[in-house]
């Protein structure tokens, strides 16, 4: 490894002869597998030697975060300053980052256990109930438990107990969501539904005051207030046009946007796509539906297939991960929910698109309304979106069809 990183033989030999060579080599190989560039690996190798000397790591012991920070400060601000150290703060930040990641990799970072969140055990049991008894999707369970944890952190902090929660506490929580957190009535309704489900389960288990769940009243949501909103199909065309060049990020994002707009996939469904889900011989895509806990086959369009092939051949980094879409910079890993949001949201904002929602789910709505204007039946649209029944698709029929007919003639390269 050192011989591959450094051009001078003497430098490579120096690194090999320095203390803790084997742990350093293991970590450098790990970083290389994650897609770190040669220049980055050289920098890490140099910092590791500094970290060993500043933290006295030859002794087999765990290291506290405070020790790392103090050593970084001492080393970065030493006098006389090294001629290559132009910015002490940057050097300090890199020292802390590399030391923390390396020691965590070695299992030598002393991590202080955070105190458990209020009601942690109860929320865990509630999540298991939603999964095993209610059969809800992982995404729905995650969202409902997030709302419950947030509520308990605010209103059930020690020494207060769950059975002490009262109706005024819940009313205050709903009020705060509107006044302080800026939630819409629709969002508050979902928040209230999550709390109601949790306290209904808590009443069954005898954790809280009876009747608390029934007292949770969600705000009134007016008819058509929650109509799915997304960019027009013309804006989708403009969005796709921003990926029409040879930059690696544009090649990757073009394939992602096609999955979202053409197939109407949810963000989680795109992120979970794996290499084995592409059947090139039969020209099919296997999608794992995030809500219904089932899979669905789609025909692989030629244009979408070409975009995927180009991404896989020219851009996708080599990685042990089987997910199709990965980050392009080290550490190489599957895209996170926020990463996928930026793929769509940042581009829509740059285009100045007029829409209330900028995330990847907005393209699912755009796909549905476009299919509606193309006179597909509710059953066909429902099947395409993976809805459990056409009733879930009927909300799109409330959209102003006359206004959407203006973009009905637009085609996405013959994909639809």
pLDDT digits (tens, 9 = 90+) for 198-232: 999 999 999 998 999 998 987 776 555 555 567 88
Residue 171 falls within a domain, yes or no? yes
Instruction: Give me 90's structure tokens.
Output: 């940057």
The reported pLDDT for the residue numbered 309 is 96
Residue 412 falls within a domain, yes or no? no
Same domain, 194 and 285: no
Same domain, 154 and 183: yes
Residue 416 falls within a domain, yes or no? no
Look at residues 394, 409, 330, 333 and name the one whose alpha carbon lies nearest to residue 38. Answer: 330
For residue 322, pLDDT over 80 is answered with yes
Look at residues 104, 75, 80, 105 and name the one whose alpha carbon lies nearest to residue 90. Answer: 75
Look at residues 270, 401, 282 and name the one whose alpha carbon lies nearest to residue 326. Answer: 270
∠ CA 72-74-76, nearest 5°, is 65
Same domain, 244 and 372: yes
User: Which residue would you say has higher pLDDT here, 145 or 32?
Assistant: 145
Same domain, 262 and 382: yes
Residue 228 falls within a domain, yes or no? no
Same domain, 80 and 198: no
Same domain, 91 and 13: yes
Angstrom distance (rounded) from CA 270 to CA 145:
23
> Among 64, 85, 110, which residue terminates a domain?
110
Least confident of 109-113, 252-256, 363-367, 376-380: 376-380
Angstrom distance (rounded) from CA 347 to CA 351:
6
The reported pLDDT for the residue numbered 389 is 61
Same domain, 132 and 17: no
Beta bridge partners of 279: 284
Residue 301, number of CB atoms within 10 A of its CB? 20
Domain that holds residue 247: 233-407
Same domain, 189 and 56: no
For residue 404, pLDDT over 70 is answered with no
Please report how many Cα atoms fall inside a 13 Å half-sphere around the Cα of residue 260, on the Cβ side. 31
CA gyration radius for the chain? 27
What's the number of domains the chain is made of?
A: 3
User: Which residue would you say has higher pLDDT here, 119 or 225?
Assistant: 119
> Among 110, 139, 163, which residue terminates a domain?
110
Q: What is the CATH number of the domain that holds 308?
A: 1.10.443.10
Q: What is the pLDDT of residues 143-202, one digit of tens each?
A: 999 999 999 998 988 888 899 999 899 899 988 888 888 887 878 889 999 999 999 999
The pTM score is 0.66
Average pLDDT over residues 383-401: 61
> Among 152, 181, 215, which residue terminates a domain?
215
The reported pLDDT for the residue numbered 415 is 45
Same domain, 100 and 125: no
Angstrom distance (rounded) from CA 257 to CA 38:
31
Instruction: Give me 86's structure tokens.
Output: 């132009």
For residue 378, pLDDT over 90 is answered with no
Angstrom distance (rounded) from CA 385 to CA 362:
13
The residues annotated as belonging to the active site are 266, 291, 361, 364, 387, 396
* pLDDT confidence tier of residue 392, bands split at 50, 70 and 90: low
Q: What is the pLDDT of residues 58-114, one digit of tens each?
A: 777 889 999 999 999 998 888 776 656 667 888 899 999 999 999 999 999 987 776
∠ CA 189-192-198, nearest 5°, is 145
Same domain, 238 and 285: yes
Least confident of 23-37, 102-116, 334-348: 102-116
């Amino acid at each position: 490894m050192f011989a591959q990183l450094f051009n001078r033989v003497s430098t490579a030999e120096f690194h090999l002869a320095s203390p803790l060579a084997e742990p350093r080599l293991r970590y450098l190989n790990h970083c290389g597998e994650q897609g770190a560039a040669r220049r980055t690996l050289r920098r890490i190798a140099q910092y590791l030697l500094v970290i060993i000397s500043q933290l006295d790591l030859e002794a087999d012991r765990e290291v506290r975060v405070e020790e790392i920070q103090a050593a970084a400060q001492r080393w970065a601000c030493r006098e006389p300053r090294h001629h290559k150290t132009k910015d002490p703060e940057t050097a300090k930040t890199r020292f802390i980052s590399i030391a923390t990641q390396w020691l965590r990799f070695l299992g030598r970072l002393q991590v202080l256990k955070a105190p458990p969140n209020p009601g942690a055990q109860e929320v865990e049991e509630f999540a298991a109930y939603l999964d095993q008894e209610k059969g809800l999707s992982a995404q729905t369970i995650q969202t409902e438990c997030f709302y419950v944890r947030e509520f308990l952190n605010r209103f059930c902090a020690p020494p207060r107990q769950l059975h002490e929660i009262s109706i005024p506490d819940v009313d205050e929580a709903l009020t705060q969501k509107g006044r302080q957190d800026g939630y819409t009535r629709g969002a508050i309704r979902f928040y209230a539904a999550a709390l109601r489900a949790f306290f209904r389960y808590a009443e069954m288990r005898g954790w809280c005051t009876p009747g608390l769940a029934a007292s949770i009243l969600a705000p009134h949501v007016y008819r058509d207030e929650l109509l799915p909103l997304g960019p027009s199909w013309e804006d989708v065309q403009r969005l796709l046009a921003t990926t029409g060049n040879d930059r690696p990020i544009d090649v990757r994002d073009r394939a992602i946007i096609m999955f979202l707009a053409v197939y109407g996939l949810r963000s989680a469904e795109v992120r979970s796509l794996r290499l084995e889900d592409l059947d090139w011989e039969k020209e099919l895509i296997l999608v794992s539906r995030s809500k219904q806990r089932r899979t669905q086959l789609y025909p692989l369009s030629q244009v979408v297939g070409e975009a995927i092939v180009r991404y896989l051949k020219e851009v996708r980094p080599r990685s042990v991960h089987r997910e199709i879409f990965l980050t392009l910079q080290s550490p190489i890993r599957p895209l996170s929910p926020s990463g996928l949001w930026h793929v769509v949201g940042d581009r829509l904002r740059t285009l100045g698109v007029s829409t209330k929602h900028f995330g990847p789910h907005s393209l699912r709505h755009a796909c549905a309304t476009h299919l509606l204007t193309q006179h597909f039946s509710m059953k066909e649209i429902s099947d395409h979106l993976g809805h459990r029944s056409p009733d879930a698709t009927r909300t799109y029929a409330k959209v102003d069809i006359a206004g959407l007919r203006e973009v009905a003639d637009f085609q996405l390269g013959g994909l639809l």
